[in-house]
Amino acid sequence: MKKLNAKGHYVGPHSDQHLLYAPWENRDSLLLSKSEFEADLMANIQKLKAIGVTEINKFVAPYEWYNKQIAEWSNDLGLELYNFTHRLKDCS
Ligand SMILES: [Zn+2]
């Protein structure tokens, strides 16, 4: 992680304990409170800062599984929540 960061790659948070935020079968509900969400994510951010990461403004949710509430809570911490996109096989 230190090497990636030193080479200029973006290194960002992905939750400290890799929490599941919403049940698989009911994505619109939550399995944690906002304070639990923030405590876990801030623990992750502190560890990143400890290895020299300074620019932390984007966030991929654990399991890439989240909902609108998680996106809003992320924004409240100054983080833009994003997700992977699938590469098209032929986009020529
Ligand atoms: Zn993950």
Q: Residue 47 sits in a domain of what CATH number? A: 3.20.20.370
> From the CA of 15, how far away is ligand 1's center (Å)?
8
Number of domains in the chain: 1
Q: Which two tokens stand for residue 7?
A: 């080479």
The answer to whether position 89 is within a domain reads no
Which pLDDT score, from 0 to 100, does residue 88 have?
73
Residues with CB under 5 A from ligand 1 (ion): 62
pLDDT above 70 coverage of the chain, percent = 97
pLDDT-based confidence at 84, cuts 50/70/90? confident
Please report the sign of the dihedral spanned by the C-alpha atoms of residue 64, residue 15, residue 5, residue 10.
positive
Instruction: Tell me what the mean pLDDT of segment 10-16 comes to.
Output: 96
Q: Which residue has the higher pLDDT, 1 or 34?
A: 34
The answer to whether position 71 is within a domain reads yes
Q: Which two tokens stand for residue 10?
A: 């973006």
> From the CA of 90, how far away is ligand 1's center (Å)?
27
48: containing domain: 2-23+31-81
> From the CA of 64, how far away is ligand 1's center (Å)?
7
Average pLDDT, the chain: 94
The answer to whether position 87 is within a domain reads no
What Rg value do the Cα atoms of the chain yield, rounded?
14
